[in-house]
Every structure is written in structure tokens, then in C-alpha cells.
């Protein structure tokens, strides 16, 4: 039975929970052991990166990213490698994803959408001017910070995902062509600048319409719709925005709007205040060189530490009753994990979770006191994966952790709502609850 959490250290960071699984990497929360600063660490399999035909391009883009310090681009602090893995230490962005707002509240007012869109274009323009293209702009890569500002992630990593795609090693969650420009789909060779602008056009459409411009259950029909730019703006979108979207979703990359034309567009320009920031940076690239040359002497160690067991007070203070309210933090953003306490035996808790999950179409795997629940139906962001773990606080008191490992946060909340109804009898209600 688990009574304590194992601590893992990578270089100077203490690893925390898994935030999610992206298309080609796992993302984990971590803290700088010295400063306590929160970071997100993207973990890549070294073999997939270094045995890759495009290793030079990836190295060049990762190096350029390290030099880019832009307020609307997720900052890459440091690159490290161990014997088998590569770690990209990134700024931790804590406001969730931009599109969770749409899923949660529906389409945006034009002023609000324009603000995010201006921030997106500003970031794209800056990176393009330094020779970095995104090529894979999609909702998961648009994050919000605690002030509600946009941060674009995964710039400069597209070469990696493309190669992984060619190898067929991609996770199933990836490969949604909804945001991809026709010339990329047709695989005729393309220019990163214009391809990114197409994706920005799709993103602007979704912000204002609340749904995708190109959608079809049949992938071939979807490709055809994208190739001919078969879409229609709903009537509530203003004529200025409709005109701009139409110029961005031009299937011909040669006549598609350019960034400099976009910056002069009447709808775009309204209230546009490009951010002022210090462009000077003194970052060095020794870490990037060491990782890509696979220099053994620079390998960081992965240390696992068995800490003193958490005591009952630690565990109880980590958990609340099984209230749905506790799935929101103070900013009303969705959380990806929750904990509750129970006086029932661990075996009963586990079988109740299993009994609740199976009829909802979940495959249930159990190992000791951990469970992995995988929804067999793919949702908005692939199959939802939920993990649970039971910790013993005292002989007759357990803490149960329920966490979204992969998939859509909103689908996780729906699942959790059903689970909480089924678990009503086993949850220990404190007086506070
Ligand atoms: O699994 P979901 O889609 O909820 O938002 C990103 C995604 O969440 C999150 O990690 C998951 C896999 O990409 N993510 C990526 N980079 C991040 C960062 N720098 C991040 N979350 C916070 N800060």
C-alpha cells in the first residue's frame, strides 16, 4: 500500500505530476530545487530524436527557440539529457488552454477574440522573423497564463513531430488535419510562413464561430473541404472579420494574406498594441550543443528518493471531500486532478471505481493500489485516460487520488461527475464538507 510519494529529481529539478501527454512527448510539472520556480518539463525519447534524419533541423530550431524570449511564446529555459531521454525545461503556463474557454463558455465576443488573435499573430510574426515556424498550430498549443495572456507552445518542435509522423510512431491523439493548410496536406512542399497563417485563420474562425470551419467524419471528404476551402462564416461574424478569415483561408498559398498585409487589416488593427519587451538575452547554447552531440559527460542524473512518509495531517490537508466544486481552482479554471478521503477498505474503493468506470466504456487496468482507466472511445483530444491511486493514511483511512492522465479536461469532468455519484457511499465526509 502506498503511504508516501516517491520523489524524482532530474538535474536540478524535482519532478511532479504528469500534466499531459502530447503528440510526441510527455509533459510533467516540476520545480527548480534551488529557487522553487515552477516549470513544465517536456520529456522526449532520445532515440526518436537523435536517430532522426532531421536532427540538424531540430537542433537549429531548438537553439533558436532558446534565444527567443517573447511575451506570447512559451519560454524554453534549458535543455538536458540523460542516457535515454531529452528534457526540455519550459516556462510553466498555468491558465490552461485557450480552447477550454470555448468548450466551456462557447464562442467569444469579437473584442475578446481579437485580443487573443493579435497576441497570436504577434508571436508568429516574431518567430517567423527569426526563422522559426510552427507548422502545427492547434488548440493544445495555445495556452493562457495567469493574467489571461496567450502563450504559444511547441514552436520549433514541428520537425520532430513531422518525422515521428513519417515513422508512424505518432500517438493517436495527433494528426487532426482540421488546422492544417491544404498545401501541407497535399505534401507538395510548403512554406512555413503561409502554412502558419492558414492555421491562424482556422483558429480565428473557431474563436468567433464556436466550431470548426472544416469538419467531416470522413477524412477524405474533410481533406477535400480543406483543399477547396469550403467553409461558410456564420451570420453573427462581422463583415470585417469575415473578410479577414476569407483572406487567411485562401487555398492558394501564393495569394493568401501575408503577415505584413494582416498587420494593416482594419479589423485586426483595432486597438492593437504590440507588447513592449526586452529583446536582449544572454542565453548560451552550450546545453543544446551538449544534448545534440550526445555528450555523455553532460548527462544529468535521474534520482529517485524515498522521502519520509507523509503523515496523516499532510494527506488530509491534501484532500477535500468529494465535492465537484473542488475541481475548480480559485480562478474557476478546470483542474486535472482531485483527491478525497474514505473510511472504506481499499479493495472496496477500487471495486467501486471499477464498477463505475466499466459501464461508461472504460478499459480498467489494476496494479497494486493504482488503476488506469482508458476510455475506448476517442474524444475531442483522443482517448481519455484517468489514473487513480489509493494511499493509506491510517489503518482505516485512505486517500484516493483521481487524475486525468490524457485527453480532454471537460470530458474528465463529465466522467468525474458520474464517478462521484457512484462513490457517494465510500467517501468520508468531514464536518467541513
Ligand atoms: O493534456 P492537455 O491537453 O490538457 O496544455 C498542454 C497539454 O494539456 C500541457 O501539457 C499537455 C500536453 O501537451 N502543457 C504543455 N506545455 C505546457 C506548459 N509549458 C503545458 N502546461 C503548462 N505549461
- Average pLDDT of adjacent 10-residue blocks, the chain of 433 residues: 67 87 80 93 85 76 85 93 91 89 88 97 93 82 93 77 43 58 79 90 96 90 94 97 98 96 97 86 81 83 64 60 48 64 88 91 90 85 86 81 83 83 75 45
Homologous superfamily of domain range 306-424:
Kinase associated domain 1, KA1 (3.30.310.80)
By annotation, the residues acting in catalysis are: 136
The response to whether 83 counts as a known ligand-binding position is no
Query: Could you give the C-alpha distances from 246 to 113, 201, 266, 371, 422, in angstroms and in order?
Result: 16, 8, 14, 48, 49
Q: What's the CATH architecture for 1-92?
A: 2-Layer Sandwich (3.30)
User: In testing the pocket of ligand 1, which one of 140, 385, 411 has its CB within 8 Å of the most ligand atoms?
Assistant: 140
Instruction: Give start-end residues of each CATH 3.30.310.80 domain in the chain.
Output: 306-424
Q: Is 400 within 8 Å of 389 (Cβ atoms)?
A: yes
Instruction: Give start-end residues of each CATH 3.30.200.20 domain in the chain.
Output: 1-92
Q: What is the pLDDT of residue 343?
A: 85
Helices (H), 130-254: 158-167, 182-185, 192-209, 219-227, 239-248
CA 154 to ligand 1 center in whole angstroms = 10
| Residue located nearest, by CA, to atom 1 of ligand 1 | 20
Q: What is the pLDDT of residue 400?
A: 86
Query: pTM value?
Result: 0.77
**Ligand 1 neighbours (beta carbon < 6 A):** 19-22, 27, 40, 74, 90-93, 97, 140, 143, 153, 381, 409
- In the three-class reduction of DSSP (H, G, I as helix; E, B as strand; rest coil), residue 298 is classed as helix
Looking at the DSSP assignment, which residues form a beta bridge with residue 390? 400
| Closest of 424, 414, 416, 407 to residue 388, by C-alpha | 416
Max alpha carbon distance in the chain (Å)? Answer: 70
CA 252 to ligand 1 center in whole angstroms = 32
* Reduced DSSP (H G I as helix, E B as strand, rest coil) percent helix, strand, coil of the chain, to 5: 35, 25, 40
Q: How far is CA 136 from the centre of its chain?
A: 13
In degrees, to the nearest 5, what angle opens at C-alpha 61 toward C-alphas 57 and 63? 115
Q: Which atom number of ligand 1 is nearest to the Cα of residue 19?
A: 10
| Residue located nearest, by CA, to atom 2 of ligand 1 | 20
Instruction: Give start-end residues of each CATH 1.10.510.10 domain in the chain.
Output: 98-269
Q: Is 81 within 8 Å of 69 (Cβ atoms)?
A: no
Q: Is 181 within 8 Å of 198 (Cβ atoms)?
A: yes
Q: Is 161 within 8 Å of 23 (Cβ atoms)?
A: yes
- CATH number of the domain at 98-269, please? 1.10.510.10
Residue 347, classified by CB atoms within 10 Å of its CB into exposed (0-12), middle (13-18) or buried (19+), is exposed
Q: C-alpha cell of 302?
A: 535521474
Amino acid at each position: 500500500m502506498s503511504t508516501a510519494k516517491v520523489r524524482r529529481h532530474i538535474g536540478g529539478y524535482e519532478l511532479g505530476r504528469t500534466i499531459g501527454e502530447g503528440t510526441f512527448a510527455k509533459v510533467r510539472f516540476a520545480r527548480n530545487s534551488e529557487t522553487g520556480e515552477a516549470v513544465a518539463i517536456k520529456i522526449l525519447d532520445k532515440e526518436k530524436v537523435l536517430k532522426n534524419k532531421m536532427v540538424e533541423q531540430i537542433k537549429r530550431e531548438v537553439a533558436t527557440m532558446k534565444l527567443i524570449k517573447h511575451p506570447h511564446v512559451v519560454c524554453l529555459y534549458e535543455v538536458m539529457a540523460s542516457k535515454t531521454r531529452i528534457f526540455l525545461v519550459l516556462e510553466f503556463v498555468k491558465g490552461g488552454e485557450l480552447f477550454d474557454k470555448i468548450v466551456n463558455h462557447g464562442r467569444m465576443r469579437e473584442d475578446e477574440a481579437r485580443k487573443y488573435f493579435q497576441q497570436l499573430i504577434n508571436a508568429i510574426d516574431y518567430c517567423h522573423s527569426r526563422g522559426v515556424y510552427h507548422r502545427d498550430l492547434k488548440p493544445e498549443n495555445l495556452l493562457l497564463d495567469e493574467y489571461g495572456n496567450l502563450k504559444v507552445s511547441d514552436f520549433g518542435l514541428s520537425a520532430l513531430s513531422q518525422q515521428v509522423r513519417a515513422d508512424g510512431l505518432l500517438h493517436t491523439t495527433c494528426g487532426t488535419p482540421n488546422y492544417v493548410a491544404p498545401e501541407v496536406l497535399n505534401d507538395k512542399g510548403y512554406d512555413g510562413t503561409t502554412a502558419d497563417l492558414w492555421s491562424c485563420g482556422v483558429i480565428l474562425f473557431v474563436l468567433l464561430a464556436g466550431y470548426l470551419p472544416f469538419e467531416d467524419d470522413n477524412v477524405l471528404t474533410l481533406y477535400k473541404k480543406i483543399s477547396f476551402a469550403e467553409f461558410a462564416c456564420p451570420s453573427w461574424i462581422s463583415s470585417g472579420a469575415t473578410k479577414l478569415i476569407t483572406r487567411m483561408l485562401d487555398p492558394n498559398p501564393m495569394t493568401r494574406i501575408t503577415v505584413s498585409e494582416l498587420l494593416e487589416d482594419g479589423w485586426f488593427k483595432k486597438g492593437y498594441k504590440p507588447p513592449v519587451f526586452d529583446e536582449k538575452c544572454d542565453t548560451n547554447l552550450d546545453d543544446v550543443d551538449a544534448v545534440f552531440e550526445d555528450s555523455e559527460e553532460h548527462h544529468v542524473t535521474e534520482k529517485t528518493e524515498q522521502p519520509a512518509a507523509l503523515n496523516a495531517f499532510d494527506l488530509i490537508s491534501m484532500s477535500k471531500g468529494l465535492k465537484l466544486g473542488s475541481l475548480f481552482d480559485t480562478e474557476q479554471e478546470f483542474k486535472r486532478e482531485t483527491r478525497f478521503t474514505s473510511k472504506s477498505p481499499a479493495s472496496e474503493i477500487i471495486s467501486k471505481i471499477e464498477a463505475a468506470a466499466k459501464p461508461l466504456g472504460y478499459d480498467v487496468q489494476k496494479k497494486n493500489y493504482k488503476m488506469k482507466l482508458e476510455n475506448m472511445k476517442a474524444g475531442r483530444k483522443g482517448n481519455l485516460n484517468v489514473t487513480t491511486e489509493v494511499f493509506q493514511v491510517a489503518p482505516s483511512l485512505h486517500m484516493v487520488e483521481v487524475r486525468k492522465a490524457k485527453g480532454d479536461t471537460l470530458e474528465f469532468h463529465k466522467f468525474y461527475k458520474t464517478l462521484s455519484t457512484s462513490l457517494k457511499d465510500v467517501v468520508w465526509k468531514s464536518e467541513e464538507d
